[in-house]
Amino acid sequence: MTPSGTVPSWSGWGDPARVPTLPAPVLTLLEQALGVTPALAAAVAMTGVSLPEPDLPGGCRDELVALLGAEQVRDDRESRIRHTRGKSTSDLVRLRSGDAADAPDLVVLPATHDEVAAVLRSCAQHRVAVVPFGGGTSVVGGLTPRRAGFSGAIALDLRRMDRLLAVDAESRTAVLQPGLLAPQAEEQLGAHGFTLGHFPQSFEYASIGGFAATRSAGQASAGYGRFDEMVVGLTVATPQGCLELGRAPASAAGPDLRQLILGSEGALGIVTAVTVRLMPAPAQRSYEGWRFEFFSDGMAALRRLAQDGPRPTVVRLSDEIETAVGLARPGQLGSASSGGCLLIAGYEGSPPDVTARREAASAVLAGCGGEPQGDEPGQEWRRQRYAGPYLRDALLDAGAFVETLETATFWSSLGALYGAVRTALTEALTAQDTPPLVACHVSHVYPTGASLYFTVACAQADDPLAQWQRAKTAAGDAILRAGGTITHHHGVGVDHREHYAREVGPLAVDVLRAVKGRLDPAGILNPGVLVG
């Protein structure tokens, strides 16, 4: 169950009732421009999913039951299916076809740090792989362990560790448990007058522990920062013991070991508590739209704001394609576009601060050629900002293949990276007789550079998994050649592992493997993720 009380879809993104009906212009575009035909078969029912029998050493299962109680050690069909993989399109295509071949043998639900530690010790002794599970929203294969060489696999579901443990109003910090979902965290912090300011597209279903494990970046990162910038302390359980990291706002006491855990996706340890810095809950929120003739003009304006200020809390620039087809404002999908590129700017804070920053930023945007579009586009985007994954589900139902990928680089290379990735995706999919629509936006900016987030839509080939793998590999190769990073905020998982190794080099991979060897000698923590 989610904070709203709904049971999320096991074969889609979230609340099934929120999957939209595609308007006629979109269906026409899919058929005429992309060659998409209605799906040949609907997604199978859960009862039709092929699920292997649990295969776990009896001694391990007995120990887990003794540790947690029988109710918190589950091998029923629904629990196992719901903990199979994440929410990438490839994950969902396999589940929708009835394939749950890599389902965990057990789902276990600890409630304390000590219980997590005890589970890890037992699984290390029995060589059982452990996959940490928060909101289940990974889109890079982060919940798909390598099973070869292990006697079984469990999903370590952290949902019972869902408390706000402490608030230090004077220091503006809070201690949160990892299974706390983002909406619950915002509600509980709001009761104290604070916010995290972290609102990624996965916000409704993602967990605090998942944010830390993947170096998540929210849509308001221009104002509040990335999640890893918010973390000031971590408690981590490993098979070898406990790590307590972070005891001051800044320190020169050696390398910052928090950075080893942030982004490690459960491969080095299980986060059991996160200490975060807080911001006062904003008294005012103001969102507006701007139009730029060309994507390059909008990127130049973003660079001015990022480097010289004032920086909006939210800034998002869609390219010509994303603007034209309505992806810039999911609620307007299929409606007519005035052309150009849509920029959304949002401001949060006290009324005087919002007014001052909005006026100053508007002068910059206008000076760079931007045309003000008023508040309506900004407010519409804010209302619809979590709608993208539901739109993906509707497009899958219609027979399209839709997926995303993201990267980042320095400003001087951003235009070239944009062109290289678009070209790679277009050529790789066209060569498979499924020419795509490739759209892009910028949603995270820094003084030195920015991110690029691509959405790709095309007809499904006979083997959509192989189809996307060829396109994804081509895009990853293009990213590295153009000097970008293989992932800005989705994480490495399994899907990015080989390109990540090329990005950082063999010595860096050896360092990470050495750290994993010390913290996790049996290699049970999310095997196959990050470093193999």
- The number of helix segments (H) and strand segments (E) in the chain equals 19, 18
Q: What was the pLDDT predicted at 501?
A: 98
- Give the CB-side neighbour count of residue 237, counting CA atoms within 13 A: 23
Quick count: other Cβ atoms within 10 Å of Cβ 166?
11
Partner residues linked to 366 by β-bridges: none
C-beta separation of 184 from 213 below 8 A: no
Angstrom distance (rounded) from CA 214 to CA 138: 9
**Coil/strand/helix, residue 152:** strand
Mean pLDDT by 10 residues, the chain (532 residues): 72 94 88 86 88 90 96 97 96 95 96 98 97 97 93 97 98 98 98 98 97 97 97 98 95 95 98 98 97 98 97 97 86 68 98 97 98 96 94 93 97 98 98 97 98 97 96 98 98 97 98 98 97 84
Query: Exposure of 77 by Cβ count < 10 A (0-12 exposed, 13-18 middle, 19+ buried)?
Result: middle
**Coil/strand/helix, residue 261:** helix
Q: What was the pLDDT predicted at 376?
A: 95
Q: Which residues of 396-410 are buried (b: 16+ CB within 10 A; e: fewer)?
A: bbbbbbbbbbbbbbe
Structure tokens at 337: 């576009």
DSSP structure class, residue 497: H
Residue type, 128: V
Query: Exposure of 240 by Cβ count < 10 A (0-12 exposed, 13-18 middle, 19+ buried)?
Result: middle
DSSP structure class, residue 50: B
C-beta separation of 140 from 529 below 8 A: no
C-beta separation of 351 from 283 below 8 A: yes
In angstroms, what is the C-alpha Rg of the chain? Answer: 23
Beta strands in 125-218 (DSSP E): 128-133, 152-157, 164-168, 173-176, 194-195
Quick count: other Cβ atoms within 10 Å of Cβ 319?
27
C-beta separation of 522 from 60 below 8 A: no
C-beta separation of 71 from 65 below 8 A: no
CA 423 vs CA 318, 437, 438, 468: distances in Å: 18, 11, 9, 15
Tokens 């709608």 found at:
387
Quick count: other Cβ atoms within 10 Å of Cβ 235?
22
Angstrom distance (rounded) from CA 271 to CA 262: 9
Partner residues linked to 273 by β-bridges: 235
**Coil/strand/helix, residue 237:** strand
**Coil/strand/helix, residue 500:** helix
Residues 6 or more apart whose Cβ sits within 8 Å of residue 2? 8, 14, 15, 181, 183, 204, 205
Q: What was the pLDDT predicted at 89?
A: 96
Structure tokens at 181: 């979902």
Angstrom distance (rounded) from CA 243 to CA 261: 10
364-412 pLDDT tens trace: 999 999 999 999 999 999 999 999 999 999 999 999 999 999 999 999 9
Residue type, 36: V
Return left, alpha or beta for 310; rule: phi > 0 is left, psi -120 to 50 is alpha, else beta.
Answer: beta
C-beta separation of 291 from 341 below 8 A: yes
Residue type, 184: Q
Query: Domains (ranges, CATH) in the chain?
Result: 164-280 (3.30.465.10), 284-385 (3.30.70.3450)
Q: What is the DSSP string of 242-273?
A: EEEE--SSS--SSS-THHHHTT-TTSS-EEEE
Quick count: other Cβ atoms within 10 Å of Cβ 300?
15
DSSP strand pairing (152-157 vs 128-133): parallel
Quick count: other Cβ atoms within 10 Å of Cβ 81?
18
Structure tokens at 510: 């050896």
- Give the CB-side neighbour count of residue 486, counting CA atoms within 13 A: 23
Tokens 């998540």 found at:
216
Structure tokens at 54: 């649990």
C-beta separation of 173 from 144 below 8 A: no
Residues for the chain: how many in total? Answer: 532
